[in-house]
Amino acid sequence: MSNARCEPTMMEWSELPWRKLEQTVFKLQKRIFKASQRGDGRTVHKLQKTLMRSWSGKCLAVRRVTQDNQGKKTAGVDGVKSLRPVERFTLIDQLAPTDKAKPTRRVWIPKPGTEEKRPLGIPTMHDRAVQALVKQVLEPEWEAKFEPNSYGFRPGRSAHDAIGAIFSNVCHKPKYVLDADIAKCFDRINHEALLTKLNTFPTLRRQIKAWLQAGVLDGQSVFPTPEGTPQGGVISPLLANVALHGMEECIRQAFPPRRLTIQGQKVRINPPHFVRYADDFVILHERLDVIQQCQQRIAQWLEPMGLALKPSKTRIVHTLLAHEGPAGFDFLGFTVRQFPTGKSQAAKNPKGVSLGCKTFIRPSREAISRHQKKLKTIVTAHRALPQRKLINALNPVVRGWTNYFSAVASKQCFSHLGHWLYENLQNWARHRHPHQGRRWVSFRYWLVGEGKGWQFATRNGEEDRRLQRHSETPIRRHVKVQAQRSPYDGDWVYWGTRMGRHPEVKYRVAALLKRQKGKCPHCRLFFTHGDKLEVDHKLARRYGGRDNLANLQLLHRHCHKTKTVREDRKGGEVC
C-alpha cells in the first residue's frame, strides 16, 4: 500500500476542525495580550514564536486571504488568485517568515471628492498569507499598548467611536480645535524608525523589513520603496498605527493638568483632548495658545518618523465662533459645530451652568454632495433599464449611507435627500414617457402604501422591489467604546452586545445576532469584530424557503459557503 499523502479535496478543507483551530489561536492571542499589558516582553516574544509556528494560525491566515477577504480574486505580480482547496493546503505548508518578499503590484484608485488617485500595492497571495499570520501575532501585543483615543483600523473600534469621543469633550464647553492631516502618511514612514519602534524578535523584523523594501511594479517597471508602507497589504494598517502611536502621550506630557492664577482667580487647566482616526486627528482645548503649541509639538514629534503635517488640510478653528474661517469643522464625513441658543435649549456643563449654545453633529456638505452625485450617476445609467434594476442599484447605496450617519442629528438631512431623490426619479420616469402626464407617470411607478405614502416600487408589490427612503432609517445613538477595552480581553458579552448595536449593522442582522446570542450556528463560535458575516436562508429559496426572519440565520462567510455546498449535495435538505 502506498504511503503517499492523499490529495486534499473540498470536503477535507471544509471539514477541518475550524472551531478548535480558532479556539487555539485565540487562547494564544489572549495570553500575548495579557503579557503585553503587564510589560512582560520576554513572554510576549515566546508566545508570538509559538503562534507563528502553529498549524492552527497558518490555517486561519490562509482562510482569511483566500476565502474571507474581498480582495481574494485580486492577483499580485505572480498572477495567483482564487486558490482551490488543494492549493490552500500547499500554501499552508509553505507558510513561514523569511527575509525575502516579492514586489507589490501598483493599482490606482480614485480618492472620493478629489481628482487625485490613491496608490495601492497588492502583494502576492503567499505574502498576503504570511502578513495575515504576522498580524495575528503582532495585533494582540499592540492592542494592549495603543492609546485609548486611537480608533482607526483597530478591531472593535470605528469612526462612530471617534465622533462620540469628540462630542463628549465639546458638549460641555466651546473649544478651539486643531484639525490636522498628515501629508502622504503611508508613503513617507521611515523604515528604520518603524522597525525600532516595533521592537520585535529578529526573524519577524527581517520579514517586515523585506515587505517594506520589496519595491513596487507599476506597469512594466519596478520602483524601489526606500520609505513608506504599501497600502493594500493585510498588515499595512497595523504598521501605520504603530508608527503614529505615541502622539496622544506626547501631548499629555507636554500639557499636564495644572492650576493657573488668572485675574486673581485660580483656574484649573485640563490637558488637551486628542482624537485620532488613522492619519486624521483633532486636538481640542479651550485656550488658543495651547492649541498653537500643540501644533508645534506634533510637527516636532512627526519628524523622526519622516512625516509632516499637510498645510492645506491643517487649520485652527473654533466650535462656536468664527476663527480662521467659519465655526465648526469636518471630521470623517461629519460636521461638528455649536450654535448659540436661548437658555431653555442651551446645553449645561457638569455644574449645571448654561453654556448658551448647543452642539450638533451632522453629515458634512461634502459627504452629502458625494452621495447625491453617486445617486444621480446611478439614475442616469439606468434610464433605459427596468425599474426593478434601478431599485436594486439604489437601495444598497441609500441603506449604507443612511446607516453610517444614523447615529447623529441627520433626520432633517435625510428628509431633504428624500425630496431631492424623488425629483430625480420623476425626471427619470418622464424621460421614459415624454408623451404622458405627470399623474399617469406617478401611478405607473409609485404605489400608495398603508400609512407610508407614495413609494417608488414595482407593480407586483414585492418587498425587495421597493426603494428604501432615506427617512426610513431611524436615528440610533451610538455608545462609545470603553477606553481600555479590546476584543482580545475575552469579554464576549460586551463585544457581542456592541456588534448588534452598531449604527452600520442592518436591522435584520442585529435581530439575528440577538436571537443567536452572538454565535454562529454552524461552527458554534462567537462572532468577533472583523469577521465577514452573511445572512443565510435555512431552507434555500430555490428549494421553497421563504424570505422571513424565521427562515434566516447569520453565518460566517466561510461557514455559509460550506453549508451551501452540503445543502446542494443533499438536494435542499436543511443543514
Mean pLDDT confidence for 522-549:
79
Element holding 216 (H helix, E strand): strand 216-218
β-strands 216-218, 104-110: how paired? parallel
Residue type, 212: L
165-179, 384-398, 452-466: range with lowest mean pLDDT: 452-466
Residue 181: strand pairing partners: 280
pLDDT band at 349 (very low <50, low <70, confident <90, very high): low
Per-residue model confidence (pLDDT) at position 341: 82
Average pLDDT over residues 141-170: 91
The residues that bridge with 447 in the sheet, in sequence order, are: 455
More confident residue, 117 or 37: 37
Give the per-residue pLDDT at 27: 92
The rounded percent of the chain whose pLDDT value lies above 70 is 91
Least confident of 177-181, 284-288, 506-510: 506-510
Cα angle vertex 348, ends 266, 269, to 5°?
25
Q: Within 10 Å of residue 455's Cβ, how many Cβ atoms?
A: 15
Q: List beta partners, residue 217.
A: 105, 222
Residue with cell 509559538: 50
CA-closest candidate to residue 71, choices 119, 134, 118, 125: 125
User: Beta strand 315-318 with 280-285: parallel, antiparallel or unpaired?
Assistant: unpaired
pLDDT of the residue at 192? 94
**Which of 223, 575, 163 is CA-nearest to residue 406?**
163
> Does 149 score more than 70 pLDDT?
yes
Higher pLDDT among residues 467 and 114, named by residue: 467
User: Is a pLDDT exceeding 50 seen at residue 7?
Assistant: no
Q: How confident is the model at residue 312 (pLDDT cuts 50, 70, 90)?
A: confident
CA angle 185, 188, 190 (to 5 degrees): 115
d(CA 175, CA 170): 6
Task: Determine the average pLDDT of the residues in 204-208.
Answer: 93
Q: Which amino acid is at 536?
A: D
Give the pLDDT band (50/70/90) at residue 380: very high
Average pLDDT over residues 433-440: 88
Q: How far apart, in whole angstroms, are the C-alpha atoms of residue 114 and residue 554?
A: 37
Model-level pTM? 0.85
Quick one: which H or E segment has residue 565?
A: helix 557-569
pLDDT greater than 60 at residue 393: yes
Residue 160 sits at φ, ψ, to 5 deg, of -65, -30
pLDDT of 10: 47
Residue 492 or residue 417, greater confidence = 417
Interior/surface letters 508-527, b for 16+ CB within 10 angstroms, e for the rest: ebbebbeebebebebbebbb
Strands (E), 300-384: 315-318, 329-331, 334-340, 357-363
Q: Classify residue 283 by burial, with Cβ atoms within 10 Å: 0-12, 13-18, 19+.
A: buried
Across 10-161, the runs of DSSP E, i.e. the strands, are 104-110, 117-122
Beta strands in 62-192 (DSSP E): 104-110, 117-122, 176-181
Cβ pair 519, 527 in contact under 8 A: yes
The rounded radius of gyration (Å) of the Cα atoms in the chain is 26
Specify which residues 316 forms β-bridges with: 178
